[in-house]
Amino acid sequence: MNKEYKKYIYLSLVISTIITVLGIGIYNHFFQRPMIVFENKSIARNVSGYESLNSQINFDDIIEKNRKAVVFIHAVIKDNDGGLKSETGSGFFVLPTGEIVTNAHVVENAEMILVTDDENHEYHAELVALNEDTDIAVIKIEGKNFPFIFFGNSDNLKPGDWILVIGSPYKLRNSVSAGIVSALNRDLGLRNNFGIENYIQTDAVANPGNSGGVMLDAEGKLAGMISAIVSGKNDYKGYSFAIPSNIVKKIAFDLINYGTVQKAWIGLSVIDRKNGSGVLIERVDNGGAGDAAGLVAGDIIIGMDSMKIVNVSQFTGKIAEHSPGEIVKLSVSRDNKIKNFKIVLKNLFRTTELISNRKDKIFYDMGLILRDLTSKEKDNNFTGVYVVSVRKGSKIANINMEPGFYITSINGSKITNVDDFVKELKSINSAVILKGYYKNYPGKFKYVLEQ
């Protein structure tokens, strides 16, 4: 019995040893070595993939070429209580003559705007113009031969495309982050009823201070301008949003060339469809561009200029890229049939004229932005020049003149256009007496501006 027991123990030890050796061999073969090989291969693939991607996109080259065109903006803003507060953001040169594009919310109501470039040079900037509907503004510094950003075509972007973001989050100037396009045609509900929202969503890191910064495509061209982030307590939560470059380009150069946006109106009220892509026409404005072309309520717009229309955000964004007088081609589903329409876009006055705001120094220093009357206003017996805007805290604001005032005379001399106004203003050495009317208020009004 004792021999049998010893024999059993010996056999057990032999079997355990064999199992252990086999177990180690199996582990090394099926687990350990594949893990090592997998890690090596994984690293090799990642490095190779990065080098391949970097050689195709060339991040270093894109950053080097563009970061000098991106600036840090510090604005001193007057709040509603009359106090002063600081706002910081980013911006970028679009012309070598010092024009810088940024977000309107960065510089709106600014008493002073300071710009710091990549080489730490500081400049005082002046506001050229801004547009609240798109949250785009243009400011300008004196100088020449500034490096500037080239515009890309945001229509070419697709979810998954690589992008680079350059800006100044938390005053950390010209910080760079990378990511991909997460989605297109986002509406965040930030603007008013007339506002344009057609954001590009990205996972590239952006924080407060990135507003007005650039989002660059794989060719190093502007794909969008960072404008909003998803945040909790002012920190990054994973997504940021950019205004498409096609909209930025149109609005910015309108502000530079005309002092206002040449906004195109199609005269339609549209909503997203509950099922399927495209937008449903709820209402057609009488006399509008859509009405003139033959569109009717119930039509479904499924395409514009050979581009598929998926929602209202995209549709309004594409219209925002156009000016009055330009033609868009719409594909429309009506009674299960596809019809094509050519739409001649109009302005707010239902004409195809381009309207230019004037900011001549002689009256802009007083606080006025003026424009000539449109042909439709003249046809309706309006006279004089139109007050587009009154700058807060200016001499004109202090005498309580409001935007929307039609100036018909200056110190007794009748005026019919802005050139007349400038000519008469230059000849006055005493108090300036402005007479005129408001469209929706009865009677005549007189304002006296002491020199």
Contact between 204 and 240 (Cβ < 8 Å): yes
Residue pLDDT, tens place only, 178-193:
999 999 999 887 656 5
Tens digits of residue pLDDT in 110-145 = 989 999 999 999 999 999 999 999 999 999 999 999
- Which residue stretches of 182-323 are H helix? 245-258, 289-293, 312-320
> Token pair for residue 94?
């679009």
Residue 227: name the closest of 241, 214, 215 by CA.
241
Q: Name 391's Cβ contacts closer than 8 Å, sequence gap at least 6.
A: 364, 367, 368, 369, 397
Average pLDDT, the chain: 86
Tell me, what's the pLDDT at 43?
Answer: 30
Q: What is the pLDDT of residue 369?
A: 92
Measured CA angle at 394 (ends 192, 433), to 5 deg: 115
pLDDT in tens, 402-424: 999 999 999 999 999 999 999 99
Non-local CB neighbours of 326 within 8 Å, separated by 6+ positions: 264, 344, 345
The structure tokens 């005082």 sit at 124
Q: How far apart are CA 17 and CA 8, in angstroms?
A: 14
Check if the beta carbon of residue 311 is closer than 8 Å to that of residue 279. yes
Identify the bridge partners of residue 93 per DSSP, sorted by sequence position. Answer: 100
268, 177 Cβ separation under 8 angstroms: no
CB 136 within 8 A of CB 252: yes
State the pLDDT confidence band at 173, using cuts at 50, 70 and 90.
Answer: very high
Mean pLDDT of 234-245: 79
pLDDT at 348 over 70: yes
Indicate if the pLDDT at residue 66 is higher than 80: yes
Q: Which residue has the tokens 């009677």?
A: 443
Query: What is the phi/psi pair of residue 308, to 5°?
Result: -70, 135
pLDDT, one tens digit per residue, over 261-274 is 999 999 999 999 98
pLDDT(290) > 60:
yes
Q: Are 379 and 402 in contact (CB under 8 A)?
A: no
- 36 CB burial (10 A radius; 0-12, 13-18, 19+): exposed
Structural tokens at position 408: 């018909």
Q: Which residues are within 8 A (CB) of 320 and not within 5 positions of it... i.e. 6 or more apart? A: 134, 196, 198, 247, 250, 251, 263, 264
- The DSSP result for 284-353, as a single string, is E-TTSHHHHHT--TT-EEEEETTEE--SHHHHHHHHHT--TT-EEEEEEEETTEEEEEEEE-B-TTSS--
What would the DSSP string read from start to end of 87-149? EEEEEEESSTTSEEEEEHHHHTTEEEEEEE-TT--EEEEEEEEEETTTTEEEEE-S-S----P
| 425, 410 contact by CB (below 8 A) | yes
Identify which of 446, 426, 450, 448 has the alpha carbon closest to the alpha carbon of residue 436: 446
Residue type (1 letter), 166: I
* φ and ψ of 436, to 5 deg: 170, -150
pLDDT digits (tens, 9 = 90+) for 17-35: 555 555 545 444 444 433 3
What pLDDT, on the 0 to 100 scale, is given for residue 18? 56
